Chains A and B, each alone.
Chain A
Amino acid sequence: MSWQYGAWTAVHRLPLGLSRYPEVGQAVRAGDIIAAGTTYGVPVRVATARRLGITPADLERVLRVSVGAEVERGALLARTGRRFVRAVSAPIDGRVVHIRADGDLELAPIVDRWIVRSTLDGTVTASDDLAVTVEGAAWALQGVAGYGPDAIGELTLVAEGASADLVPSRIDVRQRGRILIGGARGGAEAIARAHACGAAGVIAGAVPAGGLRVVFGEDVSAQGSPSRADTPTVLCLLGFGHAPLPSQIFAPLATLAGSRAAIHTESARLFVFAPADAVQLPSQPASLALVADWGALRAVDGVASQAADMTFASEVVGAAIMTADGPIPAANVKSLV
């Protein structure tokens, strides 16, 4: 998909341990903290209803803390009776994470804290324990796969051109906190260097699949792998291997360089926060072709015409598109609208 300005929705999934989340309707900006929480250590099960001699259904009535509350060791968790008091106190510092169906409490120590930042300027439209959804207007570019955590930063043009590779030597610590625009290919070395220099993320026409394995591990797939881990953020715009960016994609990217932007890895989208008239989109959409050995993608330039069915080298028969470089199966050409 090519550039579009419009209203977008970004769903930010949350891990366990949420302690703060926004109200629906709250206005947020990309980069604002929209949720915060804690990472837990090994939980401790605290017999509560049984100790108090009540049924699990009655537990809520006598609880002195709610789920999610932070407590110190010895803090009163639940209490019943007036003259003959029965009470349950916290055996450790931590948070109440769960009330079990049998009336026991799960208390877990806090070992770390996490935050989730918005990737859109807009309004919170849904918010619960699992996810926060933000809706807002932005320029957006749909990629094919996003890897790593979400990233927010200033869009910075690093590659020499739409067909150039992202060269590690062009990346340094001055690009800390920025989203770097690569060209046709962002290799593992460039991605690792960008991460080491503190860059927020890297976007490129393509990333070598082998490089993705080096950076993100053997389990990486073509569908992307959003995560919260401290890994680089990478957005593949067109595919894998090598993919020069068509001018319809690269020119607006270059124009928007310097704008605030965000990569939402789960949806594989780049959001750029600039006025609706900041970019004049070309009237002709870009066409993209998968090369014959599927190892790369290329823009279909010049005049291309639909030809009749033809037999390819593999003996597969199918509709072909005639280009200056020869016929391409029509199924392997798509228009980026």
Chain B
Amino acid sequence: MSQLWIIANVTFREAARRKILWTALLGAAAFLSLFATGLHFQVSDAHFARIAPVLRAQILSSILQIGFYAIDMLAVLMTVLTSVDAISGEIASSTIHAVATKPVHRWQLLLGKWLGFAAMIAAYVALGVGGVVAIGHFVARTAMRGSLPGAAFIYLECLLVLTLTFLFGTIFSTLTNGVMVLGLHGIAFIGGWLEQIGAVTQSERLLNLGILSSVIMPSEAIWRRASYIMQSSVARTLDLSPFASRSAPSAAMMLYAVGYLIVGLCLALHRFDQRDL
């Protein structure tokens, strides 16, 4: 097992040095600065102070929701862009040969890399979500309900995307891998909106189309679950933010997403074990 942790450790250090991670961190910092400034302007606005406290809380909650949405989007993009060549790139450059010829099982090599990236993503999500929560607390004296399970769902979404990137990395070239994962996430994103609209217009066909897209790629469904549990029941009714969820994907869908991740990881391990390096 020690080989697994050695690989996880070196992968974490390798991932943490990638320029794209630092670019994503800068992007997150720029966003958080803008977000903090905007929130400050809102709470210090004289007109805002005259709004009824209940409604004021919901508006603040919706602004925080936008913050979480942006962090979720940045985290997913960062996950894909940093890990897209973790397998295919190292095979193409032959970097993997020096490690794969050591007394290391293929599963240890792949899982170690996955764990290294998972640790790096955990740090990113913690920083991003922590930043939004801190800004909410210090600038607007408001707290988002369910932000901890919300962060856990955002992390689950990133892990799902990471797993798909690893799976496709064992099959396709780096470029094809990136296009496929982002394409699937795009399907999930569009499907999520169709499902939301279907919930508003009570269109069963739109709802089913959204569910089908979530079955194909459940990443957006995980975000909508995260978004839903972070909203108050009043905010759900008022529907103040386009980034919030009117309908929550079911617990069964979340179990499906976890199963999807596990099956994807098992397929990646199997495929990596069988392929030529």
Q: Do A and B come from one complex?
A: no
Binding site for A on B (CB under 8 A): none
Binding site for B on A (CB under 8 A): none
